[in-house]
Structure 1
Amino acid sequence: MGLTRCKIFGKILHLLLFVIFITIDPSPAKPDQDDEEGIMIKITDTVLEIIQTDEIASEALRTGLLNLSAYADKIHKNVENATKKPVKRGTIVVALSRITKHLPNAAALIQDVSLTNIGIKSSLTILTYKKSIDTQRKISVMNPFLLPINDLFSVTEGPEEITIICSDRSKDIILKNIGSKPKAEINGLVAVSVAFSEKQATTPNIIYTLLSALATKRINIFELVSTYTELSFIIAKEDMEPAIKAMNIYFNK
């Protein structure tokens, strides 16, 4: 009787092992197609975020001039760091190709600016003060009552500072009227001022285009003064000539 029970138990155990064996697929599971698509979308989003911070590459991609393989090599590590997983270079190239299809409709970063006037004001100074109620009050009564009406005079207030741009001949009047030493004083500056149409005043990237023209010549811009259709770059006197050449490209274009 005991032997019979052992045989029956053995057969049942054998049958269970057989069922378990045939239900387990020894081959590794293939990723679901939806999962693969999700991974690709995440990589594409990451590549898009990277290229949107790279102005030169973004414009080259938009115009079809970017070497996708070379750029994929350049950003490979950044993509892996952002996605926190290994990524093949070919996957990045595919992502760039996907992005390219949507870029031709995007507006160009560099706009076709047409300047109507270029002017220069020399012998300028920048004075920066710590912001206070007393300083604000003293500045408010200076222009136009104490300063020459044709002089450049601009006041910019930040959270902690007040910056004044003025002519050298107005500087002494301002220093005397405020009565305290500025935290910064920069002399020997000029303003290269440009004007454009009202239509272009509402066009995106007009200022960016002009700034880029100066940036390519490595010109440091101390301050910007802008009105509706005018923009003045406050720069060092020695940068005046290359700045004018950069702006002349867009004059009466």
Structure 2
Amino acid sequence: MSKFTMFLASAASVVTLAAPVLAQDTTADTVVATINGTDITVGHMIITRAQLPQQYQQFPPDVLFSGILDQLIQQTLLSQSLKNETDRMMLSLENERRSLRAGEVITNLTGNAVTEEAIQAAYDARFSGAEPETEYNASHILVETLEEAVAVQAEIEAGADFAEVAAEKSTGPSGPNGGQLGWFGPGMMVAPFEAAVVEMEVGTLSGPVETQFGFHIITLNETRVKEAPAIETLRPELEAELQQSAIEDKITELREAAEITQVDEGSIDPTLLTNLELLEP
């Protein structure tokens, strides 16, 4: 039976109990139970509740209190019945302690790294001095051969409606929509297409432009300068970058100050990591 199943069973049995009344001077060190000389404190219960899956944390406070306390009593009794700690247990405890200590450092680092000043500085570093980026709104007619493209160009230059010709003759997916491609920026179109658009004036028609898809006749509908996104839009991304940078900088600092030795690569068979028998006495 998992510890969560045990908890549910305990919680279900006390659902009608009244919530415990705690003294006003209760602290994390306040003892709520003693089992054969081993104390269980309010602090132990707080940590246990914080680590429960979300569905358990929705239980009423009285159910949680009684269920968690009963769970900790059960765990203490079972723990006391163990006479010898195995290598697997000791290694697991060492790993857990290492992970918790590292996590505490990371929590402090990331909390201190994110300030309004740091976010503004990161935003300014990304966009200050950056060249304005032009976006383009174009339509095209895609055909298979150069001859077809030349004919389409001549037809439009003679006065035919671009959108109607696109709907009739374009083989591209935008044909039924009059060839409209919407807005796009640098790098979003294949190179020959983009190069042709960049050189065009609004309202003009291109000659045939060859790409791997065929031959295009393009008209440039509109251009605009892309504005930098608002800082609030990028806040989650900037915060994540600041936090990651703080962690990486700290690890680099600690590595440079530490004396680290490790085995040569390949000197230990990696498949041994799956051999749990090595942990048996």
TM bucket by the smaller chain?
A: under 0.3
Instruction: Compare the two structures and name the one with the higher strand fraction.
Output: 1
Q: What is the TM-score of this pair, normalised by structure 1?
A: 0.21
Q: What is the TM-score of this pair, normalised by structure 2?
A: 0.19
